[in-house]
Amino acid sequence: MQEPTTNSNLACIFDLDGVLVDTAVYHYKAWKQLANDMGFDFTEAQNEHLKGVNRMRSLDMILNWGGVEKTAEEKEVLATSKNTQYVSMINKMTAAEVLPGTINLLTALQQAGIKIALGSASKNAGVILERTQLTHFFDAIVDGNLVSASKPDPEVFVKGAAMVGVSPAQSVVFEDAQAGVDAALAANMKVVGVGQPENLKGAHVYVKDLSEITVEEIKALVKG
Ligand code: B16
Ligand code: MG
């Protein structure tokens, strides 16, 4: 009997928010509440700038937009308050919130023997993967709890590739944020930009969502 073709020398590393699921709306609601409580507004356009940015850096940007200064202790309290509200929303997420094409692509990659890793800035990645029933696809999960430097630093993706034993040159990153694209390029990896090219400069390929790319196209990207 013929052996199935395996490609365990390839890795696909997925960002979470905006690529596999869309939690931006929950981040937005929780940050908006916090800003409103401090007496200023927070817009959806501003929320766009927070994609891929870690929690404390996001808070700093929001305080700056609101023209408000806080001590380090006050910022800890504010970040915890935002996160408590955010977690209460993501705890209600279901598998129905997984973005189009995700299950088909992850299944096809798994069947092809390609390693699958998560590379997310979120400290809540574990609960989101559990709630949306995606955990079982992953050979490695690198999230905001495991990295010390946020995107555009390449640490999150370098760690993901190392954990699945694949070289950066054989790794493909899927990202919806410019900081994430920059991080993947700095790691010397190929990048699939998920979203509009003007917001994701430097990616090697662009898709609207994961239904627009196949395993064959991913293999070709690494070879090319
Ligand atoms: P948390 P990703 C990022 O996730 C989000 O895009 C960003 O908006 C958020 O501030 C960051 O996670 C931190 O999230 O507060 O849950 O730790 O896109 O890198 O998967
Ligand atoms: Mg993202």
Residue type, 25: V
Query: How far apart are the C-alpha atoms of 107 and 110, rounded to whole Å?
Result: 5
Query: How far apart are the C-alpha atoms of 208 and 132, rounded to whole Å?
Result: 21
φ and ψ at residue 115, rounded to 5 degrees: -70, 145
Atom of ligand 1 lying closest to residue 24 CA: 8
Query: CATH 3.40.50.1000 occupies which residues in the chain?
Result: 11-22+95-223
Model pTM score: 0.93
Sequence-distant (6+) residues with CB within 8 A of 99 are 19, 20, 21, 22, 209, 210
Residue type, 81: S
Query: CATH 1.10.150.240 occupies which residues in the chain?
Result: 24-90
- Residue 3's pLDDT is what? 46
Q: In the annotation, is 17 catalytic?
A: yes
CB 176 within 8 A of CB 87: no
Atom of ligand 1 lying closest to residue 175 CA: 18
Going from the first residue of the chain to its last (224 residues), give the mean pLDDT of each consecutive group of 10, the final group possibly shorter.
Answer: 60 97 95 98 93 93 98 98 98 97 98 98 96 98 94 96 98 95 98 95 98 98 89
Measured between alpha carbons, how far is residue 195 from residues 17, 41, 129 in Å?
Answer: 12, 26, 21
Give residue 19 CA to ligand 1 midpoint distance, Å.
12
Query: How far apart are the C-alpha atoms of 71 and 15, rounded to whole Å?
Result: 31
DSSP state of 41: -
Atom of ligand 1 lying closest to residue 16 CA: 20
- Residue 150's pLDDT is what? 87
Q: In the annotation, is 15 catalytic?
A: yes
Q: Cα 163 to chain center, whole Å?
A: 17
Pocket test for ligand 1, best of 54, 83, 93 (most atoms within 8 A of CB): 54
What SS3 state is found at 14?
strand
Query: How far apart are the C-alpha atoms of 123 and 66, rounded to whole Å?
Result: 25
Pocket of ligand 1 (CB under 6 A): 15-18, 27, 50-55, 58, 83, 120-124, 144, 177
Q: What is the CATH number of domain 11-22+95-223?
A: 3.40.50.1000
CB 143 within 8 A of CB 105: no
Pocket test for ligand 1, best of 31, 50, 51, 75 (most atoms within 8 A of CB): 51
CA atoms within 13 A on the CB side of 5: 7
Under CATH, domain 24-90 is a member of which superfamily? Answer: Putative phosphatase; domain 2 (1.10.150.240)
Tell which residue, 207, 135, 143, 125, has the closest CA to residue 172: 207
Q: What is the dihedral of CA 196, 198, 203, 204, to 10 degrees?
A: 80
